């Protein structure tokens, strides 16, 4: 009987692998089915079943399956979910599909956050430009004084101040 590799009991490690993208892992199709099966510690027929069920998608090179490191990691995750956690293949497919959807949504959230940040920067720039466009002609008037227009006088201007006693 084959000796199984020791699995990490860390569920987050499995979730990270299930997302399909982890740092430092190659997605280049390198291995034929027999080598991939040996690396994943499964029978080659198991890989064919996983492909038929939509759990793995190996690349095709001259109509032959080629497995990448990502595919092998995916296979190891499937084995962990089915054998250690007792989940059937339909459940594994749902888990993998949900994790892919979650990754897509996270990407969309990141894109929306970047878009929001860009809009915020644009609005701040517009506010700055509007503030710079003010001529600073606005003069505070003390409470109780009333500014009334008067007839045009080139020496006094068009506005005159009247205090409370002149009204």
Identify whether 127 is part of a domain.
no
Q: 24-43, pLDDT tens digit by residue?
A: 557 888 899 999 999 999 99
Task: Report whether pLDDT(17) > 80.
Answer: no
What's the mean per-residue pLDDT of the chain?
79
Measured in degrees and rounded to the nearest 5, phi and psi for residue 23 equal -70, 140
Q: Is the pLDDT of residue 77 over 90?
A: yes
d(CA 21, CA 27): 9
Q: With 70 as the cut, is the pLDDT of residue 158 above it? A: no
What domain range is 96 assigned to?
Answer: 11-104
Q: Considering only 22-36, 54-68, 116-130, 144-158, which range has the smallest mean pLDDT?
A: 144-158
Q: Flag whether 80 is in a domain.
A: yes
Count of domains for the chain: 1
CB 20 within 8 A of CB 103: yes
List the one residue out of 108, 78, 110, 76 whose CA is nearest residue 95.
78
* Residue 21, pLDDT above cutoff 50: no
Question: Which helix (H) or strand (E) covers residue 142, if one does?
Answer: none
DSSP string, 63-95: TEEEB-HHHHHHHHHHHIIIIIS---HHHHHHH
Helix axes 44-52, 69-79, angle to 10 degrees: 90
Instruction: Summarize pLDDT for 98-141 with one digit per residue, the tens.
Output: 999 999 999 999 999 999 999 999 999 999 888 887 766 666 67
The domain that holds 82 is classified in CATH as 1.10.1660.10
Q: Quick check: is 67 in a domain? A: yes
* pLDDT value at residue 101: 97
Q: Is residue 140 included in any domain, yes or no? A: no
131 within domain boundaries: no
Residue 130 lies in a domain: no
Does residue 65 belong to any structural domain of this protein? Answer: yes
Please list the alpha-helical segments (H only) found in the chain: 11-18, 33-40, 44-52, 69-79, 89-133
Contact criterion met (CB below 8 Å) for 158 and 152: yes
Whether 166 is in a domain gets the answer no
């Amino acid at each position: 009987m084959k000796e199984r590799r020791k699995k990490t009991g860390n569920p987050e490690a499995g979730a990270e692998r299930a997302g399909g993208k982890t740092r430092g892992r190659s997605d280049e199709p390198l291995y034929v089915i027999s080598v991939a099966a040996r690396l994943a510690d499964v029978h080659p027929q198991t890989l064919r079943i996983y492909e038929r069920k939509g759990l793995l998608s190996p690349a095709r090179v001259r109509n032959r399956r080629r497995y990448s490191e990502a595919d092998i990691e995916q296979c190891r995750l499937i084995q962990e979910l089915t054998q250690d956690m007792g989940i059937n293949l339909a459940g594994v497919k749902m888990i993998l599909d949900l994790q892919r959807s979650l990754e897509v949504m996270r990407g969309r959230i990141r894109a929306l956050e970047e878009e929001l940040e860009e809009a915020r920067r644009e609005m701040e720039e517009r506010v700055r430009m509007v503030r710079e466009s003010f001529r600073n002609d606005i003069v505070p008037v003390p409470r109780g004084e009333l500014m009334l227009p008067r007839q045009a006088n080139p020496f006094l201007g068009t506005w005159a101040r009247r205090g409370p006693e002149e009204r």
